Amino acid sequence: MKYAFFPGCAHDTSAGYKESLDAVCSKLDIELLEIPDWNCCGATITAGESKTSSLYLAARSFALSEKMGYTQILTGCNACYTTLKKSAKYLSSDKHRLEAANKHLASEGLELTKEITIQHVMDIIFDKTPKPIWDSYKNNALQNINIACYYGCQYTRPWLTGPQSDRPEYIENFLTGLGFNAVNHSAKTLCCGAAGAMPNADIAKKLVARIADGVKKESADAIVTICPLCQLNVDMYQTQPDIEQIPTLFFTQLLGLYFKIDLENLGLDKLLISPEPLIEKMQNLKSA
Amino acid sequence: MNVQNPKIGVYICHCGMNIYPKVDVMKVAEYAKTLTHVSVASEYKFMCSNPGQELIIEDIKQRGLNRVVVASCSPRMHEPTFRKACETAGLNRFYFQMANIREHSSWVTLDSDMATQKAMELVTAAVKRVSFHAPLYTKDVPVQKSVLIIGGGIAGMQSALTAADAGFKVHLVERETYIGGHMAKFDKTFPTLDCAACISTPKTVSIGQHQDITLHSYSEVTELSGFVGNYKAVIRKKPRYINEDTCTGCGLCAEKCPVSVPDPFNENLGNRKAVYRSFPQAVPLTFCIEKKDPAPCRISCPAGTNVQGYVQMVKTGNYQQALNIIMERLPLPGVLGRVCPHPCETDCRRSLTDSAVSIRDLKRFAADNAKLEDVPLPKVEDRDEKIAVIGSGPAGLTVAYYLRRKGFKVSIFESMEKPGGMLRTGIPDYRLPPAILDAEIDHILSTGIEMNTGVGLGNGITLAGLKEQGFDAIFLGIGAHVPVKMNIENEDADGVIDAVPFLKEENLERPGSAKKRVVVVGGGNVAMDAARVAIRSGAQSVSIVYRRTRNEMPADHEEVEGAIEEGIELINLVGPKKVITQDGKVIGLECIKNELGPADDSGRRRPVPVEGSEFIIDCDMIIPAIGQRVESSPVLEDTDVDLTAWGTFNVDQITFQTSVPSVFAAGDAVTGPATVVEAVAGGHRVVRAIEKYLNNEMELLEDEIRQENKMAGKNDFLPVPEDVPVVKRAKTSFMEPSERKNCFDEVDLGLDEASAQKDAEKCLNCGLCCECMECVNACEVKAVDHEMEEEIIEVDAGAVILSTGFKTFQAEKLFQYGYGIYPEVYTSLEFERLNNATGPTSGSIQMKNGKTPERVAIVHCVGSRDSRNNKYCSRVCCMYSMKFAHLVREKTGAEVWEYYIDMRSPGKLYEEFYDRVQEEGVHFVRGRVAEITDITDHPEDDGRLTVVAENTLTMKTLRTPVDMVILSVGLEAAEGSEDVGRMAGVSRDKDGWFNELHAKLAPVSTPISGIFLAGCCQGPKDIPDTVAQASGAAGEAISLLSKGTVSTKAEISFIDPELCAGCKTCIEVCAYSAIDFDGSRDVSVVNETLCQGCGSCSSACPASAAGVKQFTDLQLMNELEGFL
């Protein structure tokens, strides 16, 4: 299957997200078509400065996607996910906003006419791929691998309500289906401090500390993230002295290990906390 | 109708400033004067006042008015006032009509002109209508001098005592086993901190002792009919299984009860037994047994064995009682404990969490560790009827044993030299040692059964002969012993011996007849037995040939495993084609390979031979084990008994009678080859049928069975707890394969005591009460009655008081507070129990780990004052939260943090209590708690909970580490109040509370005359308010009933006999059964005492014969005309 893909500014430079996503997608027959000449999603600072300019930024990428024939856009970053999803909602529900955005786009000869939907690339990988491929790698011994899933603050909120917004179980259910042991913890949707990491490092540090503390309680072999900002913050925080270190991977890197994809194709060497203990544990599993 | 000369007076009310000046009342009055038939129109400041009423009275008297219209407020307020004024002046009260120009006019618009305009229209309509009014009359009817009270909390109790002390009979209905409601769970009460038990037990005791109060505990009102003064209620009294009159409340039953379940009275913080009393001071003091549907294991046992019961008895080490329970349904416990295919284990709900209880092994353990001779026999009178049982297999032994237990004379006829049938000849000794079988048969016979061996049909007896000998009934349990042939070439060659005779010979004489190389054909248990016996009796190699794969083999998994362990080879997907012989002796078996094709009728895939795949297995002995059939010819010799196409006896599925009424049959002879337990099950059905047959009650049988089928399958079981630990299934030890394959000693060595008890502990007690009857044995006054059934009681009552109380908000809904996730987050009711002397910790405030908390947070408004949940204030939470704070400070010295939105402490001594708690050093934080998490900011707080909240007075976010959190959950209308409301016809507001008639004028009345409200069912309130309101409700009821009569309604239906066609449609639609049929005139007639004037008959009547007085077509059409 082919999908339009919005990488976002952190995708290429993150610690192996791009490599591992590409590897897993090729395994699953997913083709990600980068939207040509995409621009900043409009997250954080831009949205804080001016709501409308954030909207126009998103609208431009949407129009580019529409031009290439896709109204569904995938992204792998939570900030992009939420910003784009919000923008898509505003543009499709408010004619005046759409007209204003199109006025700006007209100078480039672009126009947004269709309703755009945004999906996290994880949703497609989990829900839209053939089960037999997954099943052929299933191994009961994986239940000895303890995974703490960390969603970040923007994947579930404001899109899910009720307990699923604070204590989601979506990734857990999927990984458990593969055989992993997903540990329960209270830090699944805490803020990683991403937006504040530069201007308010102290506050950001405190926020990440809570995530590390929440996960640590459950003694996980790895933390799995779905966002380049989350991964960076949680990984980096643990490099401080006297902190128990848990490898912090992108979910695609864990899936790469599951599929036994060559390690050099997963960018694992870019992680700050070495994933060696996890890799070793996974390689030494006795199949049951 | 007096329409000729209406003289109408119209009176416009100012209602102080409510109607005037919005409505120009002078203008309306002037306008009214211009209307036809109006002889006087005036306005006045308060028409409802005495001078206002005098106006009307004077005008009627002086000016001869015969109709009156008052334009003022809602008729709900003052219609009775003005009607009474008319009556005082000598005018029939129904010559009056009211126009509502307040709610319908002045209050609902800002536009004065429009208000005046509408007021004029309303007056016109009323004037037009009132011309067509007719005089109506009420009747006085006597009332029942009794009060029905639904709900036995403090409100219900207070109302009951008030009404009963005034001399009225009271029926107090409470659905729980005790009265006292939520207050019974409390330890202290605010603001005076008096002990809840000390102030409520005198009340509960008085209720129990009051001669005029009938307490219906553990009961629910299911129907309420009738009308004010004469209500009728149907009460469903649930069975306690313990007699209220004789139970002394000693509690010996609970001591003996093996079943422990979470105790809802303790908010599931502790456990109680299946037989229980919620707390020591409970009224009534009677214990209660809680039962769910029979456990799945018991249902799935073909013989209906009380599995849960004997498993519990093994758990508690009472092996004799375990055996007693088994023997109620299984006459051969040691046999079934070894060979039963245990369908019970398949259905065991424990397998939802880890693995099924090892039920069969537990049965064997009980049988091996208790004495058959100590199994009690029921004391029955011997009976004269004689029954002949032919065949002593499991079916025959069951029929004989249980008929004997019922007192009948039983003789068994067995054609072999030793009894046991297939148990002896078919099941190898290494699975079922003969000593076990002998002992159990001896025990059965020891109850007084005559055994004749070496005698069978065609071998000394005939059916006709038995009848001549005076046997009243005959049971055919002759089994299925004749082998089914393979139908292949050379099947009769020397060396081919069928499994049934092979096993019989080996079991009885053990000649060691197996040859060197043996091939067994078949995949069932008999094939496994034959193969495993062959290897024990000298075969060098044994192969099993089966036409499908191992997955489809009907043999038990453990038997196949055992065979493989003993070196037996499985050859799957192969069918026999021809026996190869040399000199008439077997030298091989020609086989053909199969593939699996589409599924056949049995759901298994059909084997399809692969052409050209024939091959030969060298062997010198072939044992076919592909089935058995019934040998029926000796029976048929002298009696014509119907057979099925399969050659089995054709019996009635309910009576188990053959085509000869006195001859019954069951077991393999009816079902074809099946299991031991199925034969026992068939035996039981025959026992019941023969008893009914001999009692001449055969016709009852079908009803009885239909009744049983109706009961089964509701699947209301005790829920599986969420925190069940994973416990490995107990496994019996086995003799080593190398050792066991050379002898016939028992392979399975059974469970040891420790693992048996541990495994029995895994039982989830699906049926709750396990019916082990230990309570029956423990009770000295014989109060326990497991056969008790629910009772339906009908009572009459003049008035009804609803006092159904409240339930607390479900704290799980506010997931951010972590209730149900973090063990140290409690609801307020849980804390009440934790703090209560009769609670799970005997009143010590402690955490689940037993430690005393050092810091406790109390969160107000959980589920209350919350637009996403309940908008209203629950009124009691601020006060009880402060009570908690005080108790925690007093008992533990812990720091207490209260998080509140606003402090609400209006009430006598309440504000003073607030001051006191502040002085005790409790921290008060104004702010709604955002979340409660186990994530802490400092390592030294690990293991604690963090309460995150904004202090809105200091504008700071607080993260406070605490050991324990109490959620002050709000109040909601009680579970089931919707049903009670529907039944009583009392509406509920948007939050589910019952609507009072008027918040200020009639706060304890409902729109339904004679039904009153007391306590929290009307809205959240504390104990003082509840008790006050309950006294008020009782007072209203007393005031209603003291007079002895009530007036019937005048605005009721009438049926014009001239128009009535006698179709009876009205009778069908009448909800009050108020219409009778007069057969002599062929018309329907309204019963004026019962009719409530609802109008259903009027709208349903096809002939327009039915109508409602005061709502006639003429009146309504004229009123409408006034508007137009």
B860-869 pLDDT, tens digit per residue, is 999 999 999 9
Q: How close A57 comes to chain B (CA, Å)?
A: 34
Tell me the DSSP string of B565-615.
HTTPEEE-SEEEEEEEEETTEEEEEEEEEEEEEEE-TTSSEEEEEPTT--E
Would you say the C-alpha torsion B346, B348, B352, B357 has a positive or negative sign? Answer: negative
What is the model's pTM?
A: 0.86
Stretch (H or E) spanning A164: helix A163-166
Beta strands at B855-862 and B194-195: parallel, antiparallel or unpaired: unpaired
Contact present, B35 and B125 (Cβ < 8 Å): no
Question: Hey, are the CB atoms on A186 and B816 less than 8 Å from each other?
Answer: no
The alpha carbon of B88 is separated from its chain's Cα centroid by a whole number of angstroms, namely 58
Q: How close A164 comes to chain B (CA, Å)?
A: 10
Residues 683 through 702 of chain B touching chain A, CB cutoff 8 Å = none
Q: How close A194 comes to chain B (CA, Å)?
A: 19
Tell me the DSSP string of B27-70.
HHHHHHHTSTTEEEEEEES-TTSHHHHHHHHHHHHHH---EEEE
Of B359, B360, B335, which is closest to residue B426 (Cα–Cα)?
B335
φ/ψ (deg, to 5) at A128:
-115, 20
B54 touches chain A (CB under 8 A): no
φ/ψ (deg, to 5) at A191:
-75, 135
Residues in chain B: 1124
Q: How close A211 comes to chain B (CA, Å)?
A: 8
B816 touches chain A (CB under 8 A): yes
Interface probe for B, chosen from A164, A189, A213, A219 (most Cβ of B below 10 Å), is A213
Residues with Cβ within 8 Å of B1015's Cβ and at least 6 positions away in sequence, in order, are B151, B153, B154, B155, B156, B803, B805, B1021, B1026, B1029, B1030
Amino acid A54: pLDDT: 85
Contact present, B1014 and B802 (Cβ < 8 Å): yes
B937 touches chain A (CB under 8 A): yes
Chain A contact residues (CB < 8 Å to B): 162-163, 166-167, 186-187, 190, 206, 209-210, 213-214, 217
**A-chain residues within 8 Å CB-CB of B931?**
166
Q: How close B872 comes to chain A (CA, Å)?
A: 21
According to DSSP H, which parts of B426-513 are helical? 434-446, 463-468, 499-508
**A-chain residues within 8 Å CB-CB of B821?**
167, 186
**A-chain residues within 8 Å CB-CB of B815?**
162-163, 166-167
A34-51 pLDDT, tens digit per residue, is 999 999 998 865 656 677
Of B18, B70, B16, B75, which is closest to residue B998 (Cα–Cα)?
B75
- Looking at residue A268, what DSSP letter applies? G
Question: Hey, are the CB atoms on A163 and B815 less than 8 Å from each other?
Answer: yes
B935 touches chain A (CB under 8 A): yes
d(CA B841, CA B848): 10
Query: Which of A162, A166, A217 has its CB closest to that of B934?
Result: A217
Query: Which of A162, A206, A217 has its CB closest to that of B815?
Result: A162
Interface probe for A, chosen from B935, B941, B942, B945 (most Cβ of A below 10 Å), is B935
B934 touches chain A (CB under 8 A): yes
Query: Which of A163, A167, A214 has its CB closest to that of B935?
Result: A214
Q: How close A162 comes to chain B (CA, Å)?
A: 7
Rg, Å, chain A Cα set: 19
Give the three-state DSSP class for B530.
helix
Tokens of B593: 């390979």
Contact present, A119 and A73 (Cβ < 8 Å): yes
Question: Hey, are the CB atoms on B937 and A206 less than 8 Å from each other?
Answer: yes
- Looking at residue B234, what DSSP letter applies? E
φ/ψ (deg, to 5) at B418:
-125, 145
| E strands, B464-573, in order | 473-476, 482-483, 517-521, 541-545, 569-571
Query: Which of A167, A206, A213 has its CB closest to that of B815?
Result: A167
d(CA B887, CA A109): 74
Residue B324 sits at the vertex; the CA angle it makes with B318 and B330, to the nearest 5 degrees, is 130
Question: Hey, are the CB atoms on B935 and A187 less than 8 Å from each other?
Answer: yes
pLDDT in tens, chain A (288 residues): 999 999 999 999 999 999 999 999 999 999 999 999 999 998 865 656 677 888 899 999 999 999 999 999 999 999 999 999 999 999 999 999 999 999 999 999 999 999 999 999 999 999 999 999 999 998 889 999 999 999 999 999 899 988 899 999 999 999 999 999 999 999 999 999 887 777 888 888 889 989 988 888 778 999 999 999 999 999 998 998 878 889 999 999 999 999 999 999 999 999 999 999 999 999 888 754
Tokens of B247: 């139970």
Q: Is B17 left (phi over 0), alpha (psi -120 to 50) or beta?
A: alpha
CA atoms within 13 A on the CB side of B802: 35
Question: Hey, are the CB atoms on A210 and B815 less than 8 Å from each other?
Answer: no
Query: Which of B816, B935, B942 has its CB closest to that of A166?
Result: B816
Amino acid of residue B354: D
pLDDT along chain B (1124 residues), means of 10: 76 95 96 95 96 96 95 92 95 96 96 96 96 92 96 98 97 97 95 92 95 97 92 96 95 96 94 96 95 93 96 96 96 95 94 93 96 91 94 96 96 94 93 95 95 90 91 94 91 92 88 85 94 91 93 88 92 93 92 88 84 93 92 79 89 92 94 93 96 92 81 80 87 88 90 95 95 95 95 97 98 95 96 95 95 98 96 97 98 97 95 97 97 92 95 96 98 96 94 94 92 98 97 97 90 94 93 89 90 91 94 93 90
φ/ψ (deg, to 5) at B678:
-70, -35
Give the three-state DSSP class for B106.
helix
CA-based nearest residue in chain B for residue A163: B815
**A-chain residues within 8 Å CB-CB of B933?**
186, 214
Contact present, B863 and B814 (Cβ < 8 Å): yes
Question: Hey, are the CB atoms on B934 and A167 less than 8 Å from each other?
Answer: no
Give the three-state DSSP class for A253.
helix
Tokens of B142: 């006597």
